[in-house]
Structure 1
């Protein structure tokens, strides 16, 4: 099937899904055509399999590289995609040690694996190790959405200079279908910096604020335990400054800020970007020793979700 044909078939099969999808066989961007960090242009497809990485990975159990295992992990309300993925074989699905969720992801972060540039939809500088996966929701064109998941850094985690964590992405939607236009989307990924300082790293289409560092050091990521992470985004209406982003950790409000990324009312929240990787500006961000990050309990809603109740001790 031709590239254009496969794109039309994919879009036709995902009406109402808010996909930011790319079809098979589109090649990669030429060197002189830089990809806008929040661009709504369909990203290029990788020419290798989604599980390919820059360095060999030791054999593991079930990982996100197995589509069936990935769908089972996220459940029916979330749709893992195959666009612009990297390091899926670094994300092992493990039996949970917490009764609040049945399984979790353990993302391995090696010291010598840099993710291929053609796999990265956001040009953040070199990204080392880790995992990236776009996960669509199943709602119809929301402009306000809330995300909850659980995160665990090991007790001895070395934060280094910084890295990225899951957060929302946005896409242009018309008549409940994602459109191929030059209008731009957004991303609101959680992140960390030296010493475990927390923040949200937000790409937008606004020429005056294409990159937003939100809430830096308003909280610090704990280590050695599960923490409940919540993000709420209410998009502004075009021409107005009525948007907001809210962040909760373990049920407590950690940061609230005006957030007005939308230059078009057609921009909606498309799902979340599962990302766990070191990186932000070159080799200085690479981990000095192998690290892991655990992620679990991904869900979303049109109103705030709050942490899962802790089981009663027996």
Structure 2
């Protein structure tokens, strides 16, 4: 008999005894009468519906490896892609502790993960741990674009010798179709070097300057709080040094380059965000010496500067 059947039987028996005037209950062997409450009885397992052992963790990890989670995190105006990506399972989406954005991306950087060599682009060296994901915008092939996002290094973060953070990437667009290879484009990723010294790695397909370190030591990355990161890029005309790069940290303009010239073709356009958070690009001595995490949030772009989000106390 199943648990449910036994419950029904016990209930019916109790009601029948009550109807017969036996309000004192059933007499147990060697004891006086007691009241029977079927709902409190210890019943044998219901063999008709065996219960399997749960294998679900207390909190399922929501990472960028799940395409639905990635789309939800970046929103309608950004399109996460899987090309040349790695470490997506190391980037977990969590509820935000800041009212300015609903969720944050926590990137884990273990000490024993070397990223795939075939995923290196833009003359990158070896990188360690973390994540790399191309996130396209939904605009029509812009040559000028502005970004904003937030980054937070934990209070005990060990910067080591260097690493990279998100920035823009560019790609060749012909007849509104992007090229399959990204090596003909450019990247302008934020970074740190020699401890907390800030800079941008401006990688291009140009043979005369494939890698530029931009704005080194014009700011320092703080620990233990959210930092507003902004970048504006206007591409040059082919053969001219008339492009523009602007960098704001916490709303302050810290770098301006009016001769930015990554373009090898007038078909080059700003493609979107290259979401990167890794150690490395300077040999094995750039490996993290202990496990680290980096938080990212609030990715947004526009054809004009966005400015920092109002702080919660500002209303």
What's the TM-score bracket when you normalise by the shorter of the two chains? 0.7 to 0.9
1:226-237, aligned counterparts within 5 Å? 226-237=226-237
User: What CA deviation, in whole Å up to 9, does each residue of 1:104-143 have, x standing for no partner?
Assistant: 0000010011111123334422210000000000000100
- d(CA) in 2 for partners of 1:251 and 1:97? 21
Does structure 2 retain, via aligned residues, the 8 Å contact 1:245–1:259?
yes
What secondary structure sits across from 2:306 in the alignment? coil
| 1:64 corresponding residue in structure 2 | 64
1:74-93, aligned counterparts within 5 Å? 74-93=74-93
User: What CA deviation, in whole Å up to 9, does each residue of 1:9-56 have, x standing for no partner?
Assistant: xxxxxxxxxxxxxxxxxxxxxxxxxxxxxxxxxxxxxxxxxxxxxxxx
| 2:300 corresponding residue in structure 1 | 299
User: What CA deviation, in whole Å up to 9, does each residue of 1:45-97 have, x standing for no partner?
Assistant: xxxxxxxxxxxxxx961000110000000001000001011001110100000
| 1:95 corresponding residue in structure 2 | 95
| 2:56 corresponding residue in structure 1 | none
| 1:22 corresponding residue in structure 2 | none
- d(CA) in 1 for partners of 2:140 and 2:187? 18
| 1:310 corresponding residue in structure 2 | 311
What secondary structure sits across from 2:83 in the alignment? coil
User: What CA deviation, in whole Å up to 9, does each residue of 1:185-229 have, x standing for no partner?
Assistant: 101010001220000001112221111110000111111000000
- d(CA) in 2 for partners of 1:182 and 1:302? 22
TM-score (norm 1): 0.79
Does structure 2 retain, via aligned residues, the 8 Å contact 1:85–1:120?
no
| 1:268 corresponding residue in structure 2 | 269
Over 3 Å counting, the alpha-carbon distance change for 1:295 and 1:181 in structure 2 is closer
1:161 aligns with 2:166: no
| 1:179 corresponding residue in structure 2 | 179
- d(CA) in 2 for partners of 1:63 and 1:134? 15
Over 3 Å counting, the alpha-carbon distance change for 1:85 and 1:183 in structure 2 is closer
| 2:244 corresponding residue in structure 1 | 244
- d(CA) in 1 for partners of 2:88 and 2:193? 24
What secondary structure sits across from 2:118 in the alignment? helix
Over 3 Å counting, the alpha-carbon distance change for 1:142 and 1:288 in structure 2 is same
What secondary structure sits across from 2:313 in the alignment? coil
| 1:205 corresponding residue in structure 2 | 205
Over 3 Å counting, the alpha-carbon distance change for 1:161 and 1:143 in structure 2 is same
User: What CA deviation, in whole Å up to 9, does each residue of 1:166-186 have, x standing for no partner?
Assistant: 000000011211135898210
TM-score (norm 2): 0.78
| 2:16 corresponding residue in structure 1 | none
What secondary structure sits across from 1:268 in the alignment? strand
Does structure 1 retain, via aligned residues, the 8 Å contact 2:123–2:203?
no
Over 3 Å counting, the alpha-carbon distance change for 1:313 and 1:212 in structure 2 is closer
What secondary structure sits across from 1:237 in the alignment? coil
Greater radius of gyration (CA): 2
Q: Which runs of 5+ in 1 are unaligned?
A: 1-58
